[in-house]
Amino acid sequence: MRCLITGVAGFVGSHLSERLLADGHEVVGLDAFTDYYAREQKERNLEGSRAWNDFSFIEGDILQLNLPALLDGVDWIFHQAAQAGVRASWGCNFSRYVDCNVLATQRLLEAALEQGSIQRFVYASSSSVYGDTDALPVSESSLLRPNSPYGVTKLAAENLCTLYHLNFGLPTVSLRYFTVYGPRQRPDMAFHRFCRAIIERKPIVIYGDGQQTRDFTYVADVVEANIRAATSRTAVGEVMNIAGGSRVNLHQVMQYLRDISDAPISVTFDERQHGDVGHTFADTTRAQQHLAYRPRVSLREGLAREYEYVLSESTKRAATHSAS
């Protein structure tokens, strides 16, 4: 299959690209290199994909590109691109979230409809659409009440995907990711910050009291869900939770990191941030039914992999600085 991945230089997009290439597919990668975090890291994310002859890359903004031409010959679309970050989505930044998350998705849906032969449009949604609830685990039929402007835009884009399926038959699938982690995780995300703080012998900062819980999902499991969403006939038109299968608080995460790093850990607590939720935990029954989805990587194993990755990157940076 010929696949388009938007946000290919990002965390999930780069892993998904490498998996599709390894499976024998052709990948067209698109990324705008927005300045939410360093371009240097995104370029490193692309190194694995660029080693393949079946990979081609386009740098550009979905709102500016000639999308019908870009989609010529494409069979599967994996729409991973978004303006990320719950805490940064307030105030004057909101217009950027609307452009990147809502308008860009609508434009891509229109182009897919015009192209006429897209076999699957897989959209990366988010658990943020549920907001802050104690009615756990959440299923796809749970009340949707986003707790941040970011969540509002992700839900709006997800609704657009559903509408294009219901009204025009576009074969969309929306996957609600629950706190994805692993190698290449964005530097602003909690696990990356925790690992780097340990390596640099700095205090780990936790927003809130550490009792908040998350359903953490390893990136390879998210990639597997995307592949299955593209190939399952019954997945078309569905919205599904994709999660790690266990609910863990941050104090337990700290204990895992102590064991993995074998290093002393200092933890400080700061005020809970606007838009953060207390708890997440997913019912993945629907994904099990339509995708035969079951997470394979435990939290402790996945954390160890991420720690080793952050340690390796830190070692490389130190070597570069000393050489210069």
Query: Whole domain around residue 281: which residue ranges?
Result: 2-178+218-243+274-296
Please report whether residue 308 resides in a domain: no
Please report whether residue 61 resides in a domain: yes
Count of domains for the chain: 1
Closest by CA to 3, choosing from 223, 184, 162, 169, is 223
Banded model confidence at residue 324, pLDDT cuts 50, 70, 90: low
pLDDT mean over 33-60: 95
Burial class for 235, CB neighbours closer than 10 Å (0-12, 13-18, 19+): buried
| pLDDT tops 90 at residue 317 | no
Please report whether residue 195 resides in a domain: no
| pLDDT tops 90 at residue 179 | yes
Please report whether residue 309 resides in a domain: no
Q: What is the pLDDT of residues 248-258, one digit of tens each?
A: 999 999 999 99
Burial class for 209, CB neighbours closer than 10 Å (0-12, 13-18, 19+): exposed
CATH assignment at residue 146: 3.40.50.720
| C-alpha 158, offset from chain centre | 14
pLDDT mean over 104-126: 97
Six token digits for residue 219: 């990136």
Please report whether residue 136 resides in a domain: yes
CA–CA dist 130, 133 (Å, integer):
7
Give the pLDDT score at 321: 60
Please report whether residue 237 resides in a domain: yes
Q: Which of 97, 123, 130, 150 is catalytic?
A: 150
| pLDDT tops 90 at residue 295 | yes
Please report whether residue 125 resides in a domain: yes
| pLDDT tops 70 at residue 320 | no
pTM (two decimals): 0.95
Q: When comparing pLDDT for 322 and 198, which is higher?
A: 198
Q: What is the pLDDT of residues 189-211, one digit of tens each?
A: 999 999 999 999 999 999 999 99
Banded model confidence at residue 176, pLDDT cuts 50, 70, 90: very high
Please report whether residue 72 resides in a domain: yes
CA–CA dist 3, 252 (Å, integer):
39
| Known catalytic membership, residue 307 | no
Give the pLDDT score at 134: 87
Six token digits for residue 59: 């740098």
